[in-house]
Amino acid sequence: MAPSNTKQAKLNIIAQDIIDNNVAVELRQTATQLVFGEGNADADIVFIGEAPGKNEDLAGRPFIGAAGRFLDEMLASINLNRDAVYITNIVKYRPPNNRDPSDEEKQAFLPYLESQLDIIQPRLVVTLGRHSLNCFLPELQISQCHGQPKRYKNRVYLPLFHPAAALYNRSMKQTLIDDFALIPQILTKIK
Ligand code: URA
């Protein structure tokens, strides 16, 4: 089996583990389905959002609504598309009424997210929004550290603003676009 297929097979097992282990069972009861993540299992870059919204819940795919279209545009601006990267969320069921995920819910999914990253072994982990950033680097503030890569425990993280938040704030949107444009240069510097 080709290496990428092996990785995808391992990712499929993690998705099934989430279901079999009844992770965040209350969220699961109100959600339509698991939104595990998708893209290239051999990707250099993994993007991590917060939790699925309504569109994602219905389709079973991450970032396919307005925020996802904006993410697609930014990917295109650096000559990438969704097939080249991997996209997922911390929390993998839609919280009711799009409320913020609780600390308990984020912690429940964290071991599975860590496993996803351990399988994919990306060179760069891009966190989208403060929930995603603070899962890995709890002491950092997104307003202070956005656009600055951080090396921590054998991984390199790039904190970015969340595309959904940036859509409704003109200056945050421009900052996100500017930070996103740094990705190719950051990648070349990572061993
Ligand atoms: N916002 C997120 O954080 N994740 C999605 O998948 C969609 C919107």
CA-based torsion, 173, 176, 180, 181: positive or negative:
positive
* Residue 3: inside a domain: no
CA distance 83 to 34: 20
**Mutation to probe ligand 1, out of 58, 63, 94 (largest number of atoms < 8 A from CB):** 63
* Residue 4: inside a domain: no
179/191: higher pLDDT? 179
Q: What is the pLDDT of residue 4?
A: 57
Band (pLDDT 50/70/90 cuts) for residue 191 is confident
| Three-state secondary structure call for residue 21 | coil
Q: What is the pLDDT of residue 5?
A: 73
In order of 3, 8, 107, 174, 179, the CA distances from 91 in angstroms are 27, 20, 9, 27, 24
In order of 12, 14, 72, 85, 159, the CA distances from 109 in angstroms are 15, 11, 25, 21, 19
Record the pTM: 0.96
| Residue 44 CB contacts under 8 Å (≥ 6 apart), including other chains | 85, 122, 123, 124, 187
* Residue 105: inside a domain: yes
Q: In sequence order, what are the beta bridge partners of 47?
A: 87, 126
Q: What is the CATH number of the domain that holds 181?
A: 3.40.470.10
Instruction: State pLDDT tens for residues 135-172.
Output: 999 999 999 999 999 999 999 999 999 999 999 999 99
- The domain containing residue 74 runs over which residues? 35-189
The dihedrals phi and psi of 187, each to the nearest 5 degrees, come to -60, -40
The per-residue pLDDT of the chain, averaged, comes to 96
Instruction: State pLDDT tens for residues 60-113.
Output: 999 999 999 999 999 999 999 999 999 999 999 999 998 999 999 999 999 999
Asked whether the predicted pLDDT for residue 35 surpasses 90, the reply is yes
Instruction: State pLDDT tens for residues 111-139.
Output: 999 999 999 999 999 999 999 999 999 99
Single out the residue of 32, 35, 28 nearest to residue 62, CA to CA.
35
Query: Which residues contact ligand 1 via a Cβ below 6 A?
Result: 49-53, 56, 62-63, 65, 67, 89, 164
| Residue 15: both structure tokens together | 């998705």
Number of domains in the chain: 1
